[in-house]
Every structure is written in C-alpha cells, then in structure tokens.
C-alpha cells in the first residue's frame, strides 16, 4: 500500500517503543501495531495525541493524505526544511509569472469556454498551479517540522 508507515516513522523519530507510545497515548500496544501496519487508521483524538507526543505536527497532514484514499484532494508533499520549502515555492511562483501564465489563463477563460486548441495550455497551467499549491503546503508544514 505505502512504502513507509508514517505512524511508525514518527514514533521511531521520537525515540519511543510501541509500548511507551501506547502508554503515553492511553491505548493498547495492539492498537499501535494496527496503525503501524495500516490495518486500522487512528481516530482523530489518537492522531492528535501522536502529533503532540511524537512532536511531529506534519503527521496530521500525512494521515489526511492516507485517509483520503483514492480521492487526491490532498496532494502528496515532502516534509522539507523552512529554507527548502521557501525556495521551492518562490521558484515555482516566479516561473509561473515569467511564463505569463496569468495572462494565458485570462485569455483562455475570457469567453467562458476551453476549446480544443486551448486545452493543452489550460492543462499545463493547472499542473503548474498544482505544483505551486504543493509547494505552499510544504512551506506551511515546514514551520511545524522539528530540525532533523
């Protein structure tokens, strides 16, 4: 399903055993094991506790990505340092502006119809905007990430 288990990775980075994490969260070791094998997803109150106890707020975002299943409303992002996330976002915004995508989008939208000739450019613009959105989320969660 997923390469790494986000709950296990967060717990291990906090230096906790399954037993100690279960004790701090007030749940059973079996529940921890279920979350760490994706047999079950933790309920929100347990997830909140994990974020606090593991000192890793981005876990909530990662959890929502998994919980959304096939619906890709929540884009996949990387947890980056503040510097990396800032540079990535600014670079994407400047590239968008340098290509005058705002003007391209207005020209496409002006008549309220996306015709066949406009479709490839429109799709390209949407991809670039999705990259900007992803970079923006990475910046947002970078402020919550503890230094490695």
Supply the pLDDT for residue 69: 66
Nearest-angstrom CA–CA distance, 61 and 59: 5
Total count of residues recorded for the chain: 148
Supply the pLDDT for residue 3: 57
Query: Would you say 42 and 60 are in contact if contact means Cβ atoms under 8 Å apart?
Result: no
Supply the pLDDT for residue 123: 95
Q: Would you write out the chain's pLDDT as a tens digit for each of its 148 residues?
A: 445 888 999 999 999 999 999 999 999 999 999 999 988 999 999 999 999 999 888 888 888 878 876 545 566 778 888 899 999 999 999 999 999 999 999 999 999 999 999 999 999 999 999 999 889 988 888 865 544 4
Query: Would you say 66 and 41 are in contact if contact means Cβ atoms under 8 Å apart?
Result: yes
H helices of the chain, where?
6-13, 18-25, 29-36, 44-53, 58-67, 82-98, 101-109, 119-142
33: which residues sit within 8 A by CB, 6+ positions away? Answer: 18, 39
Nearest-angstrom CA–CA distance, 79 and 82: 9
């Amino acid at each position: 399903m997923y390469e790494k288990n986000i709950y296990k990775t967060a717990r291990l980075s906090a230096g906790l055993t399954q037993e100690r994490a279960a004790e701090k969260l007030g749940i059973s070791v079996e529940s921890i094991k279920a979350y760490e094998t994706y047999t079950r997803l933790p309920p929100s109150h347990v997830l909140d506790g994990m974020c606090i106890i593991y000192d890793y707020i981005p876990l909530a975002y990662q959890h929502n990505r998994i919980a959304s299943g096939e619906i890709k409303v929540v884009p996949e992002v990387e947890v980056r340092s503040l510097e990396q996330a800032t540079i990535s976002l600014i670079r994407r915004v400047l590239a968008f502006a340098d290509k005058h995508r705002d003007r391209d989008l207005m020209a496409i939208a002006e008549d309220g119809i996306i015709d066949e000739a406009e479709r490839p450019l429109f799709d390209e613009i949407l991809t670039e905007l999705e990259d900007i959105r992803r970079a923006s989320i990475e910046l947002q969660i970078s402020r919550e990430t503890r230094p490695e």
